[in-house]
Structure formats: C-alpha cells, structure tokens
C-alpha cells in the first residue's frame, strides 16, 4: 500500500513539473528591435568602414512554431521552425578606396534587410522543480541584404549548423534562462548585384561564424498563453574572401569582401500560444 501511494505521489510531482510542457503545438510571435555595430578592415588591419544603428534602427518580426513531446523520466523534446525578418538603416562611416582619404571621410546611410530561418531539435532534461537544461542542434539559413547605394548592393548568405545549450530557472509563474549558440557557416558567399557595368558578381567568404548568448524571461499568463521578453547578444565574424575581376568606372579591378566583425544586440517582446 505504501509503495502504491509513493508511486502516485511521484507521478503527481512529475505531472506538476511538466504541467507547462504538455505535448502539443505552440506558436510564438514577437516584435524585434536590433542594434548593429559592424566594422570592416583592410588587408593591413586598418579600419575601413563601420555601420551602426540603435535598437530602433532595425526592427521586424519573429515567428516560432514548435511541437513539444513529453517523454519519460523527466525529459521532453521540441521540434521547432523559426522565422525572422528585420529591416532598417545603419549609419555608414568609411572612406572611398583610391581617394587618398581615410576612415571617416565618407558618410551615408545603408539600407539593411536581414532574413533568418531555422529548423531545430531541442532535448530538455528537468533536474528538479526549479532547474532544467537543454541541448540541441539547428540548421539555418541567413541572408543579409546591404544596399550601400543604388549601384552597390551586397547580399551575404549562408547555411549554418547551430549547436546550442541552455539552462532555465523556474520560479512559480516566472522563468529566466541563459542560452549559448554557435552558428558555423556552410559555403558562405557574398553577391554584388548587377549594375550597369557588371552582372551579378559572387565572392566566396573565408568563413562566417556567429556566437550568440540570450537571456529569455517568461511569464505564464494562463494555461495557453505565455508572455516573454528576451535579450540577445551576437558576435559575428566574416573572413576575407577571394578576389574576382570587376569593372569599376570602365576599368577592370579586383573586388573582394574584407574581414569584418559585428556586435549585434536584440530585444524581443511577444507571446507564446499553445494549442
């Protein structure tokens, strides 16, 4: 009889811990603000240009559709499909190659559009009624449309493998987490779109890597709705590309993508709906 009650009590505790993770689907919708701090460097390491924006300079929408399945022994898994689209302007500060003038001699505004889509699989383990850890892998595609002028439009793109790990602390209706993610680019490239002198021109980027840290804060509003606020910090590196022929003002030159670094920040606010 005692064993019977102990088993029942264990089942009730387990059900309580997993009550927020019932098998089923969820859809989250969030508004996103992004700040960019991007820098390019010449072959000798000299700073060539920067692009900067505040959190309201680039904005957009994030959508996440997930299927959660509760497994045995304190585990549950999630298959998710994530979509993000952002657009805005950055302040360009740089120079013009061959002008003899250095960094800061040329100022303009750049139009930016960032598109990111991902499929991911996450495995969660509940340590106790307060802490859980997660780990998984994602496969994503990222594209950055960068219009420096009507005659210089660059499109960066790559597939990426995205291993990730996280820790979540649950306290009643609130939870806060810390997540780490590494995005390793597969065959990254940059395309200079066609202008009156050139067709589309493609260079192969040396590499494209993103290291990402996020802090999600979630509030359980009711049985089917969660509200959340998330801060994300992202460090991106792109290695120098190969050099290819290009026509500039009637002359053939070599064009390439220089080494660059970017420090991006995101604020996301939205709601998750379970069904």
Please state, in angstroms and as integers, the Cα–Cα distance from residue 50 to each residue in 37, 136, 263, following that order.
7, 34, 11
Instruction: Tell me the whole-structure pTM to 2 decimals.
Output: 0.87
Q: Please spell the DSSP secondary structure of 47-88, one letter per residue.
A: EEEEEEEEEEEEEEEEEEEEEEEE-STTEEEEEEEEEEEEEE
Residue among 62, 35, 66 nearest 51 (CA): 35
Q: Which two tokens stand for residue 11?
A: 């089942």
Whole-number Å distance between alpha carbons of 64 and 269: 13
pLDDT for position 22: 73
pLDDT for position 98: 55
Whole-number Å distance between alpha carbons of 43 and 260: 11
| Structural domains in the chain, sorted by start | 22-274 (2.40.128.100)
Whole-number Å distance between alpha carbons of 205 and 155: 12
Whole-number Å distance between alpha carbons of 216 and 167: 10
pLDDT for position 60: 98
Per-residue confidence in pLDDT tens, the chain, 275 aa: 434 434 443 443 344 444 445 789 999 999 999 999 999 998 888 898 999 999 999 999 999 999 999 887 788 999 999 999 999 999 999 876 555 666 777 899 999 999 999 999 999 999 988 999 999 999 999 999 999 988 889 999 999 999 999 999 999 899 999 999 999 999 999 999 999 889 999 999 999 999 999 999 999 999 899 999 999 999 999 999 999 999 988 889 999 999 999 999 999 999 999 99
């Amino acid at each position: 009889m005692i064993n019977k009650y102990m088993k029942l009590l264990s089942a009730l505790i387990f059900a309580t811990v997993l009550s927020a993770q019932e098998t089923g689907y969820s859809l989250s919708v969030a508004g996103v603000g992004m700040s960019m701090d991007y820098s390019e460097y010449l072959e000798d390491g000299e700073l060539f240009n920067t692009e900067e924006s505040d959190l309201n300079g680039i904005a957009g929408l994030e959508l996440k559709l997930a299927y959660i399945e509760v497994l045995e022994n304190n585990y549950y898994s999630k298959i998710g499909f994530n979509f993000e689209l952002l657009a805005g302007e950055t302040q360009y500060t740089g120079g013009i190659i061959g002008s003899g003038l250095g960094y800061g001699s040329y100022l303009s505004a750049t139009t930016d559009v960032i598109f990111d889509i991902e499929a991911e699989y996450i495995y969660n383990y509940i340590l106790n009624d307060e802490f859980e850890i997660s780990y998984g892998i994602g496969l994503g595609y990222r594209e950055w449309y960068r219009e420096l002028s009507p005659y210089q439009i660059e499109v960066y793109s790559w597939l990426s493998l995205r291993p990730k790990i996280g820790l979540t602390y649950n306290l009643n209706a609130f939870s806060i987490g810390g997540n780490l993610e590494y995005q390793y680019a597969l065959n990254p490239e940059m395309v200079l779109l066609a202008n009156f002198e050139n067709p589309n021109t493609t260079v192969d980027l040396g590499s494209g890597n993103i290291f990402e840290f996020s802090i999600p804060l979630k509030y359980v509003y009711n049985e089917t709705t969660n509200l959340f606020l998330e801060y994300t910090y992202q460090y991106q590196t792109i290695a120098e590309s190969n050099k290819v022929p290009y026509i500039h003002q009637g002359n053939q030159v070599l064009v390439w993508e220089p080494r660059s670094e970017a420090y991006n920040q995101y604020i996301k606010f939205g709601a998750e709906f379970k069904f």
